[in-house]
Amino acid sequence: MREHLLLLLIYYRTYTTHLFLAQIFKVDETTICRAIKRVAPLAERILKIKPEKLLSENGLQLLIVDATEQRIERPKNQRDYYSGKKHAHTIKTEIITDHKGRILRVSKPYEGRVHDFNIRKTEGPLPAAPILADSGYQSLQNEHSARVILPKKKPKNGSLGDIEKAENKKLSRRRIVVEHVFAHLKKWQILADRYRGRLDLYAQIFQTIAGIYNLSFIK
With contact defined as beta carbons under 8 Å apart, do 9 and 23 qualify? Answer: no
> CA-CA distances (angstroms) from residue 189 to 29, 80, 167, 176, 206?
20, 24, 35, 21, 11
Give domain limits for the chain: 2-47, 51-217
With contact defined as beta carbons under 8 Å apart, do 107 and 210 qualify? Answer: no
With contact defined as beta carbons under 8 Å apart, do 136 and 115 qualify? Answer: yes
* CATH label, 51-217, candidates 3.30.310, 3.40.1350, 3.90.1200, 3.30.420: 3.30.420
Q: What is the pLDDT along the chain (219 residues), one digit of tens a residue?
A: 899 999 999 999 999 999 999 999 999 999 999 999 999 999 999 999 999 888 888 778 899 999 999 999 999 889 999 999 899 999 999 999 999 999 999 999 999 999 999 999 999 888 889 999 998 898 898 888 789 999 988 887 788 888 988 998 999 999 999 999 999 999 999 999 999 999 999 999 999 999 999 999 987
